[in-house]
A and B are shown apart, each in its own frame.
Chain A
Amino acid sequence: EAGVAQSPRYKIIEKRQSVAFWCNPISGHATLYWYQQILGQGPKLLIQFQNNGVVDDSQLPKDRFSAERLKGVDSTLKIQPAKLEDSAVYLCASSLDRVGRGTEAFFGQGTRLTVV
């Protein structure tokens, strides 16, 4: 089965510019997650979708970050405007159901963002 697809793999932008990341989850997976992984740290949840509804966006910096999941399938994460501290790998993951109920989350390879 195809895995979680993310694009682009790498992106370099200047501070104050905007950027968007795209994620295509595994077919049939209801739950989709965006994580931010800063170098040397573990992934931190930004937002969790269940189908096309938001379950948890408590750690999403809403003044600059936004995310949507159209039709409960693909998702985009946008940063506008970017700051230097946004340099990180942005991971998308999906699961059949919420992972707390024992299902496995599958991760994409991530998008490495460098803000200069």
Chain B
Amino acid sequence: GNSVTQMEGPVTLSEEAFLTINCTYTATGYPSLFWYVQYPGEGLQLLLKATKADDKGSNKGFEATYRKETTSFHLEKGSVQVSDSAVYFCALSDQQAGTALIFGKGTTLSVSS
């Protein structure tokens, strides 16, 4: 079946450091890929998405590229801020079947000043 694997957290960085959170997926069909973020005390919200191979999703300085050859969708940011501290979830959905989002376990990011 379809699944998502994320790197284990927590990830602890200093402000302005480079961030990478790894995400790989297994899919029998053709998935759309997503990163969702959950800030403390708030609900899940979409950060970025990509719907076909080699597409790059970007938002708020975050980027992720849909790599079909490596079945990956790693999240990156060049310079993190304290306000980026949150839990990040990688997710997929099968495009043809229109299935609901399947989430990874989440990676907690903590940024200190």
Contacts and interface: CB of A to CB of B under 8 A. Distances in A.
Nearest to A4: B43
B100 A48 contact: yes
Given A40-B105, A99-B32, A100-B93, A91 B44 contact: yes
Interface string A98-116: 1111101111111000000
Nearest to B36: A107
Interface of B: 4, 31-32, 34, 36, 42-46, 49, 51, 89, 91, 93-106
24 contacts: A3-B43, A4-B43, A33-B101, A40-B105, A40-B106, A41-B105, A42-B89, A42-B105, A43-B103, A45-B101, A48-B100, A91-B44, A93-B101, A97-B98, A98-B93, A99-B98, A99-B100, A100-B95, A100-B99, A101-B95, A105-B46, A107-B36, A107-B44, A109-B42
Interface of A: 3-4, 33, 40-45, 48, 55-56, 91, 93, 97-102, 104-110
